[in-house]
Each structure stands twice: as C-alpha cells, then as structure tokens.
Amino acid sequence: MKILTLALALWVSAVLARQEERSQVGEAEEEEKVVEVLAEDFEEEDALEPALGNDDDVEEGGAECSRISPKEIFHTELHPRLLKAMDEMSLYVEAVVERVERAVEVLLPHVPDSPIGELKSQELFPELRDFILGTIRDAYDLVRTAWRDLIRAHSRGNLESEETLRALQLIRDAQHQGDRYLNTALQELSVTIKAIVMNSIYVVHRSLHLPNDTKEHDVAEAVHSKLPKVAPNFLGNVMAKVLERGSDPSGYKKILTDPLRDLNKAVDEMHSALETAIENGNAEDMATYWREVVAQSHQRMRDDPLLEEDLEIIYLNETYLTELTLSLMATW
C-alpha cells in the first residue's frame, strides 16, 4: 500500500534529518567558538567585571544623556523583541508537545501491537522538551552576551568607530547563529511530530484490517472516519488535515525561518550606517552616530510597537495551532 510506503519513507527521512541536525549543531558549536575567540580578542582582560554594576540599569550623568548609547537600543527595543520571540517559541513548543503526548496515550490502546508504542513516550517527550527549550535558551544567551560586550565596552568611553563596527559584526554573527539554533530546535520538533503523525495514520489503517487492494482514497476515508473515536484530540486534528490535503509539503504554507529577523534588520542597519560613515571619513563623532541610531530605534518602536499578546490563550485555539503545526511540518 502507498500509505505504508509513505510512512516508512518518512521514518527514514526522520532519521536522516536528525543526523543532519546533529551535524548542524556541531557546526554551530564550532562557529560559536570562533565568535567567542573574536569577542575575547575585542574585550580587555577585565571584561568579566561588570562595567555598569547592574547591566539592566541606564545611568544618567554629565552633560550628555547616557541613554544615547547601545544600552538604550538593546534594553528599550531589541531585548523586549528578543524575549517575545523566545517566549512565543517556548509556549508553542509546550502547547504542541503536551497535546501530542496526551494524544499518544489515548491512541495506543486502540491500536494493538502498534509500532508507535515503541516510541517510549515517557522518555521521548521529556527529552524533546529539554533539547528544544535548552536550545532556545542557548540562542538567547548567545545574543544577549554579544550585546552585553558592546554595552560594557561603550560604557568605558572612547570606543572608536572601528572598534564599534567590529562589535556590531560580532552581534550580527551571534544573532544569525541564534537563528540557526532556533531553526535546529524547530526542525527537531517538526521531524518528531511528522513521524508520529504519519505512523499514527499507518497504525490506525492497520487496525482496520482493510483488504490489500483497497484504493488509497478509500483507505483515507476509512481512517478519517475512525479518528473521532481513537484520536479525538489535537493529534487527530492534524492527522485528519493530512488525510484531507495529502502529505505533499507544497500544499501547505511554510513558516518563516528567521525568528530573529527584527533584531537582524536593526543591527544590519546600524552596521551599514557606521560602515558607510567610516568609508566616507565621517565617523569621528561617535556621539552623533549614537544619537541617530537611537532615534531610528525609537522610530521603529512607534512604527512597529510590541503589542500585548496572551499566547497561552491564543494556543488554546486548536484550529490555529493545527494550521501552525502543519506549516512547521511542511517547512522541515
């Protein structure tokens, strides 16, 4: 049967994707080491000593407002955007994993000798949570550390334009690497959920004991009709949508794979503006540069304010959550 071939092919695909993902993690770790070496080169020996006391405070002093600084841009605009991206991804992962974990427990008794019984869900789902949430935390720490290095260096005073440009490049590298970390986490979730969904469809099909010559359309209808009894939950909704639309990824909208795009755009603009000023010989007055980029940051907040969203409530809408998960599965 084609559905059996598809299920087995997806298991192979899942294994290969995991191997590729592990390889990507290894490459990312090597890249992080390079970034750390460059950052150590950039920082002075006393870099580990906080230069501002509490890194989250913005002190006022002297004739010029100290809020005209990288600290103002990060803590007022970019750090809240970073936290929102991390929170949204973490809550989504929790919402999906919790539902699938419960769904597998409901489904298994209805499908004797089920291959998905070998998933050892007591181990799989906690490990999946730990890996994904740990990877999200690593991405957050990487980006925040890169910004903290610039903030501390700037607070010491007399940070020249070339040094600032180098620090901004380190931030760009850290943020793009953070995106790779987050994509690795989402890929792990996608591969796991896809394997569970496709093999759940297969085991429900097997439990129906349909004749071998049953047409694939009739198989899909038979499986679909049984789902309300054996999988009346989120997993059943995803399985039903796959049966209705087919498994071809081109039939689904894909998610964006640059979760830190707002931060990346802002830092790209900061880096480009300073690079151009240096090339034109107009980067002597760094105070003017920081006034301009802080003004641009404030303008971004007016144009694209961070709105309050209760994501836990949003993810209670299983229709929305199902569509989002189908998009995730189509992306990886």
Q: Are 165 and 81 in contact (CB under 8 A)?
A: no
Average pLDDT value for residue range 16-28: 52
Average pLDDT value for residue range 254-261: 92
Alpha-carbon gap, residue 108 to 103, rounded angstroms: 9
**Burial of residue 167 (number of CB atoms within 10 Å: 0-12, 13-18, 19+):** buried
pTM value is 0.79
Q: Are 207 and 110 in contact (CB under 8 A)?
A: yes
Per-domain residue ranges of the chain = 2-49+73-150+160-271+303-331
The pLDDT tens digits for 56-70 are 444 444 444 567 899
Q: Residue length, the chain?
A: 332
The pLDDT tens digits for 59-99 are 444 444 567 899 999 999 999 999 999 999 999 999 999 99
3-state secondary structure of 54: coil
